[in-house]
Homo-oligomer: A and B are copies of this chain.
Amino acid sequence: MEKLLHTPEGVRDIYNHECESKLQIESKLHEVMNRYGYQDIQTPTFEYFEVFSEERGTVSSKDMYKFFDRAGNTLVLRPDITPSIARCFAKYYKNEECPIRLCYGGSTFINNSEYQGKMKEVFQLGAELINDASVEADAELIALTIECMQEVGLKEFLVEIGHTGFYRALVEDACLDEEETEQLRLLIMNKNRFGVEALLTEKEMDQSLKEAFMTLPELFGNVSRLEEIKKITNTPKAVETIERLEEMYHLLEVYGYEKYVTFDLGTLSQYNYYTGMIFHAYTYGTGNPIVTGGRYDSLVKQFGKDAPAVGMAILTNQLQIAMSRQKTDIMMKKSRELILYKKAYFSKAVNFAQMKRYQGIDCMMCCMENTEDRAALQAYATRVGATCIRIFDQGDTMDTITEWETV
């Protein structure tokens, strides 16, 4: 019986208030994406393994749910949606040269055993702007993120922006191999300055470059720090990335959203497909990001079409956790009536309920031969979220309806 009642580890049921609230949040976020011109797309829950294999730079193969089709091909539950959108773009927009905006909602699946308590099925709502290499496109994704946060009623949140190109330029200059690059990336992501120092001590490279790597975990702050950050490196490509971030910041000033923005050049992503600006949105109430995003100019090319792109995904569960802890509830209280009737009054009750439904009021009908116990009925109404009870059990005119508000 144990297994019959339980969901597998890392997945769960969502019901009652939480589910209703989740759907309302998703609907509001989706509206914002539409408002920015993003058009809906849905991709399958599982795909060929190749779509997410190592070259794509999403998650490691061992962390994917894999199975086989009848022909013996390896299928995986999608661990990420961006590569699927990249595949679609290469397939359905092969000859498109102008910017295309796509948005989607769906579950992703990561079979991760390392972190206890981490969910394995994670819903996300995402937006991708493809065929657009401009810094204006980068700024749009940040603006869209900020507006999504505002739409659900969040007041205090920050978008922390980095640039993968900065780190890559330093790595290139330092001639680090792949393994060292990855080791260093993890140390920097964990803001482990001493680890970085230890790793670099044995390496031969310019002292100024070593200094740059060592300060990386500390290169965060508001826009005024960008000027300073430019000075710690002579690598032209690294300097260019900072200049692009500065330009993007000025575009965000036009939107009026600069106050939500902060920079962190030590921010690196678990996704290797990012090539430019990357960002995470945070708010209080959860330590995890509520939005992640960035520029990925080489991913679509892997599917056969050379197209720069930038995108973001909102992790709605993290957002909902934060909103709940912040007591920010966007739920609109709906009128919902509980209509109780004795069998003989079925017609009258149905006609009444249909009229109410026509007016846009939710009505639950319930045949009850015994409607005497008011306290029990009241408790039931509360359990099913009814805001009003009506009883059809006597007389034959509408006037004899017993009704009372439950709240």
Interface of A toward B, CB cutoff 8 Å: 1, 3-9, 11-16, 19-20, 22-23, 34-37, 39-48, 50-51, 65-67, 69-71, 73, 75, 77, 84, 87-88, 90-92, 96, 98-102, 107, 109, 111, 113, 121, 132, 134, 136, 140, 251, 254-255, 302-304, 334, 336, 338, 343, 346-347, 350-351, 354, 357, 360-367, 380, 383-386
Query: Is the Cβ of A140 less than 8 Å from the Cβ of B365?
Result: yes
Question: Is A36 a contact of B357 with CB atoms below 8 Å?
Answer: yes
Question: Within the complex, what minimum Cβ distance (angstroms) separates A248 from chain B?
Answer: 12
Q: Is the CB of B384 within 8 A of A4?
A: no
Please measure, in the bound complex, the distance between the C-alpha atom of A269 and the C-alpha atom of B407, giving whole angstroms: 43
CB neighbours (8 Å) of A15 from chain B are: 39-42, 88, 92, 102
Query: Of the candidates B5, B39, B69, B132, which one forms a contact with A20 in the assembled complex, judged by CB atoms under 8 Å apart?
Result: B39
Task: Check A3–B36 contact: CB distance below 8 A.
Answer: no
Q: Are A350 and B385 in contact (CB under 8 A)?
A: no
Q: Contacts of A9 on B, CB cut-off 8 Å?
A: 69, 71
* Subset of 25 A-B contacts with CB under 8 Å: A3-B73, A4-B302, A5-B91, A6-B48, A13-B43, A13-B44, A13-B91, A14-B41, A14-B42, A15-B39, A15-B92, A20-B39, A37-B336, A37-B362, A37-B384, A39-B384, A39-B385, A44-B121, A45-B109, A67-B67, A98-B366, A98-B384, A101-B364, A254-B351, A255-B350
Q: Which chain B residues border A99 with CB–CB below 8 Å?
A: 364, 366
Complex contact A100–B6 (CB within 8 A) = no
Q: Are B44 and A11 in contact (CB under 8 A)?
A: yes
Contacts of A42 in B (CB 8 A): 13-15, 19, 22
Identical copies of this chain, number? 2
A96, A107, A121, A304 — most chain B CB neighbours (10 Å): A107
Contact assessment for A121 and B90 in the assembled complex, using a CB-CB cutoff below 8 Å: no
Complex alpha-carbon distance, A23 and B104, angstroms? 11
CB atoms of A383 and B96 under 8 A apart: yes
Residue contact B346 to A48, C-beta cutoff 8 Å:
no
| Cβ contact within 8 Å between B251 and A346 | yes
Q: Determine if A303 and B4 form an interchain contact, defined as CB atoms under 8 angstroms apart.
A: yes
Nearest first, the 4 A-B pairs at minimum CB distance are A37-B364, A11-B44, A67-B67, A15-B41
- Given A6-B48, A22-B42, A45-B107, 16 more A-B residue pairs with CB atoms under 8 Å apart are A1-B304, A3-B50, A4-B50, A12-B44, A13-B44, A16-B41, A19-B40, A20-B39, A34-B334, A35-B361, A35-B363, A36-B362, A45-B121, A65-B67, A100-B384, A134-B367
- Taken together as a complex, chains A and B put the C-alpha atoms of A100 and B15 apart, in Å, by 12
CA distance A366 to B140 in the complex (A): 10
Evaluate contact between B46 and A8: CB separation under 8 angstroms.
yes
Q: Is the CB of A40 within 8 A of B23?
A: yes
Is the Cβ of B8 less than 8 Å from the Cβ of A44? yes
Q: In the complex, what residue of chain B is closest to A97 when comparing beta carbons?
A: B380
Query: Which of chain B's residues has its CB closest to A71's CB?
Result: B9
Q: How far is the CA of A201 from the CA of B92 in the complex (A)?
A: 58
Most buried by B among A92, A254, A366: A366
Task: With A1-B304, A8-B69 as known contacts, state yes or no: A35 contacts B88, CB within 8 Å.
Answer: no
Complex Cα distance A237/B380, Å?
34
Residue of B nearest to A357 (CB): B35
Say whether A66 contacts B69, CB under 8 Å.
no
In whole angstroms, what is the CA distance A347 to B136 when docked?
11
Cβ contacts under 8 Å, A1 to chain B: 304
Complex CA–CA separation, A136 to B346 (angstroms): 9
- For A304, give its contact among B4, B37, B51 (CB under 8 Å): B4
Among the listed B5, B16, B98, B366, which residue makes an inter-chain contact with A90, where contact means beta carbons less than 8 Å apart? B5
